[in-house]
Chain A
Amino acid sequence: MKIEGEHIFNGSRPDVWEMIRDPEVLASALPGTQKLNKLSDTDYEGVMNVRIGPVSGSFSGKLVVSDEVPPESCTLTVDGKGAPGFLKGVGHVKFTEQSDKTTHMTYEGEVTIGGTLASVGQRMIDSVAKSMIRQGFESMDKALEARLANKAGQQVEYKPPTEAQFAAGVAKDMAKSWTQIAEVRMIMYVIPVGIIMALIGYVLSKILTR
């Protein structure tokens, strides 16, 4: 499955780059991510617990940064595995400094998903993924804001969203988009919670591939 998109960060390119290369921030953008352990400058290892409703599962994954041209571009490869299935993603990320001191980020790549993630979550992948990307960017925007403020000597605390807040956000976004799908028949409470979990895993790849 192809992924692509863009986002504007309210900060300079070096600041954005610095943030992106900080595993703490990456991890905090996705609740449930226990930690992103730095194995080397380019290799990270992480575990993400996902717990929504009665279903839980954990993904262990590897993140490799390659083709690095700081602060312009890099390639991110994610390989994750867990009870809900597996995912493998390769993404190319580019940062362009804009005249108004903001940074324009574009990303494109390909993600392979397997197991329960693929076989049960397919119908909702697009809408949930979009929601999770949106929320992921929101928290990164806040993280960036906090970093820049701290840099300027102000004390601004960055608080990543909790798992519950995150899941609620996804559910809200999903409900919005579902009403637009003509074929949907029996939604809401019938939806296997695994689907949402699946998508969190999927988005893990996206966020990590940024």
Chain B
Amino acid sequence: MHISEGVLSGPVLAAGGVIALAGAAWGLRKLDARNLPRAALLSSAFFVANLVHVPLGPSNVHLILNGLLGILLGWAAFPALLVALALHALLFQFGGFIVLGANTTNLALPAVLCYLLLSPLVRSANRVTVLVAGFAAGAFSVSLAGIMAALSLYLSGSAFLTSAQALLLAHLPVAVVEGLITALVLGFLRQVKPEMLRGMG
């Protein structure tokens, strides 16, 4: 998922950087002073939620929840993920600053797509619709993030073909778990704090 610095090729890094910068600029433009602390705190909450390791068969996977982030933050998911990944790089030296753009794009683009496609359904009054849309958001965003990470590898050189396939395959079971958890979180928020599901625009 998280591609290390020093792996991807120049053109892939540049493309990821351009998309991430454009997305972050657009997201920041839509973020007013009132929503700034909200975006920052939700971003750090997602950072912490990634510590949760959910059992999956004999092993476990950590949560990504980029679909949920997209639904709650909208376009602000781009700057929020950029900051979270940059601080991750600064504090734990995972991934450097050049690969930041590609990693942000791989996570934030599916998040924003979830927001654009599924947030009307998430706001539905029907509980089942919310749960189904939540499952779709979780499964779709992680699958697409996996596809984009695999594609970043493959476009960096055809030698990466097998690794890209393996990466993609590893995301499939994660997508099911993410879908389940995202649906249940949305069901919870719908009862506890429904105004959160309206997003920030």
Say whether A associates with B: no
Question: Residues on B close to A: CB < 8 A?
Answer: none
Question: Residues on A close to B: CB < 8 A?
Answer: none
